[in-house]
Structure 1
Amino acid sequence: MKRIMLLIGTNLAIMLVLGIVSTLTGAHKFFSGSGLDLGKLLFFALLMGFGGSFISLWLSKTIAKWSTGARVIDTPANSTELWLIDTVRRFAEKAGLPMPEVAIYEGEPNAFATGASRNSSLVAVSTGLLQSMTRSEAEAVIAHEVAHIANGDMVTLTLIQGVVNTFVIFIARVIGWLVDSALRKGGDEPSGPGIGYTITVVVCDILFGILASIIVMYFSRQREFRADAGAAQLMGSPRPMAAALRRLGGMEAGELPQNVATAGINGRPGWMALFSSHPPIEERIAVLESRS
């Protein structure tokens, strides 16, 4: 990958930082004289899990612009930019959405949608896509991105991420406490977590975080099918979206940073598909054609 795959990468980084800092600074309010207070631990896990997830969502649009170098089109500089804004506006109105910000960025064929809510969204399209696709195919891709916004996919994935974050934090700290207790067996009563707890929690946060990303990626792939169907509805037919996917299948889709990949148009083959935010293009085409 030229650039690492907005939501998942940013969230993982935030969760690792929050988890390590809370561990190293001794923020263990869920420990008591009798051991581990599971109720307090669950509250801590919920606060950290959903906090990290929603911080990621809040930062998503800003990070997307920065990481891709996307330039928001305030005043169209040429006919292509005017067409792009008019196309996004037409689909947004059809989907009952406020007008998203529209941006363009240099790169290979790709596009993405992001933002904290339907009222604060961004649709960005690469120069490579605009240059390589017919207008009908490019319209289908734009319709797909608008459908992501209309379906509330960023918020949905944020909630899913919050749930898996909570489990990661909770389970990692339970295992950390068990390992620490085993290491101290026969010794003095612990007054708090020891080095065994700290090391175990950091390792588990990383390993379980990777497993959690597989779960989130699965739900992301399901949202892609919905966005494809939404594009077909906005276009009045599934054929333009299928044609756009065929075109993408014959070219190297530009890879997006992790924080925007969940709302882009690319995918990955082989076992790496477990970590892919998108289903195989062939499968997406087949599902679209079954709707014809």
Structure 2
Amino acid sequence: MNIVRTAMLLAFMTALFMGVGLLIGGKGGMMIALLVAIAMNFFSYWNSDRMVLSMYGAKEVDERSAPEYYGIVRDLAKRAGLPMPRVFVINSEQPNAFATGRNPQNAAVAASTGLLQALSYEEVAGVMAHELAHIQNRDTLTMTLTATIAGAISMLANFAMFFGGGNRENNNPLGFIGVLIAMIVAPFAAMLVQMAISRTREYSADKRGAEICGNPLWLSSALKKIAVAAGRVPNDEAERNPATAHMFIINPLSGERMDNLFSTHPNTENRIAALEEMARGMQARSTEPVRADNPVRKSRSVPTTGWGRGGSEPPKGPWS
């Protein structure tokens, strides 16, 4: 089903790309756009994850350079039955995270320095479990391909200002009006992507992430902190590349917090409510309470010591 969904989305994005080419350069522009789209689809399948990571200046870390952060991802991946993804850190004050990669065997997770500084050990585990859920659900291929192609559509539409509407013979069938339409399409290209990517995947990743880490309240607590901080701390790189906004656990763009048709993410309060309801259900089935500060764990794969525990000092890492 995910393969069919991805193919349909790519077909739609390719058609949109060709439409912008038609408005700028007529049939010739459309054919060039088609060839570019085919090449881009092929290139993006193999390289879109690297492009997104490079766009945000992500630096890869390992067990030596970031033992606690890396260890969380390693242990959660083991619990989820996933191959170990590559682990990255983004130098950004806005707390946020995303996952990328064409399949679980070629996946990567990235967390910002702001997230690793602001969140407790358990909350980081909840966030990374959410990202691993996207990998397990194979959302990442759709997310990264869409981000790449949508960015190209916006760039192509912006080129319209350098064209004068074409000649009468062939080019743009709508003349200057066509170029104007193409220019108007650019600001809405990212919005079209947001509509194309189903927001239900966030609820699904929240649920599966809570199952992976063992406690829904870890993630709900993290979402509360991230949502508040993301609204105050700008993410300049995301603002320059809005087509990638849907990849993050919380919308990194300013002024987009409404749960409406054009939002990349469900309303955060709704997500938190769903996780808290899940926690109540787990508690009802258990003889012991599920608590955010000292949750019941059936597995000790995620260490019970670390930052956020008993007033201990934050562990040393790349975010220190």
Deviation string for 1:49-77 (max 9, x for gaps)? Answer: 66545544543322223222211014522
Deviation by residue 1:13-47 (Cα, 9 ceiling, x = unmatched): x9489827993782567xxxxxxxxxxxxxx9987
How far the C-alpha of 1:115 sits from its partner, in A, is 1.8
The equivalent position to 1:226 in structure 2, one of 204, 226, 239, is 204
SS where residue 125 of structure 1 aligns?
strand
Q: Distance in 2 between matches of 1:46 and 1:214?
A: 22
Number of aligned residue pairs: give it.
244
Distance 1:104 1:92 in 2: 17
5 Å-filtered alignment, 1:189-208, equals 193-197=170-174, 199=176, 201-207=178-184
Report the AA paired with residue 112 of structure 1: F
Deviation (angstroms), 1:216 = 3.0
Tell me what 1:149 maps to: 135
Q: Distance in 2 between matches of 1:158 and 1:70?
A: 15
Does 1 or 2 have the higher relative contact order (CA < 8 Å, sep 6+)? 1
User: For residues 163 and 61 of structure 1, what CA distance do their matches in structure 2 show?
Assistant: 12
Residue 72 of structure 2 corresponds to which residue in structure 1? Answer: 87
Match runs of 1:10-159 below 5 Å: 15=17, 19=21, 23=25, 26=28, 52-53=40-41, 55-74=43-62, 76-77=64-65, 81-108=66-93, 109-157=95-143
Residue aligning to 2:248: 264
222-231 or 197-206, which deviates more? 197-206
- Point out where structure 2 has 5 or more consecutive residues left out of the alignment: 1-9, 154-164, 280-320
- 1:156-191 Cα distance to aligned partner (Å, 9 max, x none): 347878999xxx9xxxxxxxxxxx9xxxxxxxxx9x
- 8 Å contact 2:70–2:87 — kept in the other structure? yes
Tell me, in whole angstroms, the C-alpha distance in 1 between the residues paired with 2:92 and 2:177: 41
Q: Deviations over 1:107-148 (max 9, x none)?
A: 121111112222211111111111111100011011111111
| TM-score (normalised: structure 1) | 0.66
Equivalent residue for 1:242, pick from 215, 220, 225: 220
CA distance, structure 2, for counterparts of residue 102 and residue 162 of structure 1: 21
Change in 2 beyond 3 A, CA 1:100/1:163:
closer
Aligned pair partner of 2:194 in 217, 220, 239: 217
Change (3 A) 1:76 1:55: same
CA–CA distance in structure 2, aligned partners of residues 113 and 25 of structure 1 = 38
CA RMSD, aligned part only?
A: 4.2
1:66 maps to amino acid? S
Judging changes above 3 Å, is the alpha-carbon distance between structure 1 residues 194 and 248 closer, same or farther for their aligned structure 2 residues?
closer
Matches of 1:158 and 1:111, distance apart in 2 = 14
Structure 1 residues 28, 60: CA separation in 2 closer, same or farther (over 3 Å shift)? closer
CA apart distance, 1:250: 3.2
CA distance in 1: counterparts of 2:144 and 2:187, whole angstroms: 16
Amino acid at match of 2:268: I
Q: In structure 1, what is the Cα distance between the partners aligned to 2:19 and 2:47?
A: 16
CA distance in 1, matches of 2:62, 2:96: 21
In 2, Cα distance between equivalents of 1:73 and 1:93: 18
Call closer, same or farther: CA 1:270–1:247 in 2, change over 3 Å: closer
Write the distance in 1 (CA, Å) between the matches of 2:246 and 2:102: 14
Distance 1:99 1:19 in 2: 41
**Structure 2 contact 210–219 (Cα < 8 Å) conserved:** yes
Q: Distance in 2 between matches of 1:240 and 1:205?
A: 45
8 A contact 2:76–2:212 mirrored in 1 = yes
TM-score, normalised relative to structure 2: 0.61
Check conservation: 2:58, 2:91, Cα contact below 8 A.
yes
Q: CA deviation at 1:224?
A: 1.3
Change (3 A) 1:50 1:151: farther
Contact 2:58 2:90 in 1 (8 A): yes
In the alignment, is the contact (CA less than 8 A) between 1:20 and 1:202 conserved in 2? no
